[in-house]
Amino acid sequence: MHGTERILVVEDDPQVAEIICWNLRAAGYPVTVVADGLAAIQAFDREHPALVTVDLMLPSVSGFRLVALFKRERPEVPVLVVSALTFEEADDAARAGADDFVTKPFDPRTLVEKIDYHLHRAPPPADVGAGAPGEAETREATRERRRHLAVA
């Protein structure tokens, strides 16, 4: 059992999302799943996931943009792209900050193994409640700018 290492799954195909979530839950991970980019931004801010999986072709905000936004806000959180990737798309996702890739169709065991690897090599996330006076307000202002950039 993995405990509190929440995984955010950003996937608009319900069947793929179900496969990912079932396998992650079977491995002991709590999972939050969302189907579009705006919901992903909200869930990322609300849930403070330990790791994110992102499809690239999403409604409202592209997966490429999400990868860049998530890595800019919390670079310590691993972001895995789960998508039918071309070489060029993989290169673009890597430049945006993706930590790893799983190409569709995929073996769910491989995805869980990659998630295990990234979670256990990464330093623990910083306490989101701690910080200097005014830091929470600065984080909120950053989130608002990020939301604006995401829909622009």
Segment 108-137, tens digit of pLDDT: 999 999 999 999 874 545 544 444 445 455
pLDDT at 1: 45
Mean confidence (pLDDT) of the chain: 84
Q: Is the peptide bond before 78 cis (omega within 30 degrees of 0)?
A: no
Cα separation of 97 and 83, whole Å?
Answer: 15
Cα dihedral 145→146→147→151 (10° resolution): 110
Q: Give the amino acid at 17.
A: A
CB-based contact 91:103 (threshold 8 Å): no
Please state whether the predicted TM-score (pTM) of the whole model is above 0.85. Answer: no
* pLDDT(71) > 80: yes
Cα separation of 139 and 66, whole Å?
Answer: 17
pLDDT band at 89 (very low <50, low <70, confident <90, very high): confident
Domains of the chain: 7-151 (3.40.50.2300)
Cα separation of 48 and 134, whole Å?
Answer: 20
Question: At residue 106, what are phi and psi to the nearest 5 degrees?
Answer: -135, 160
**How distant, in Å, are the alpha carbons of 16, 85, 124 from that of 111?**
12, 15, 20
Cα separation of 123 and 42, whole Å?
Answer: 23
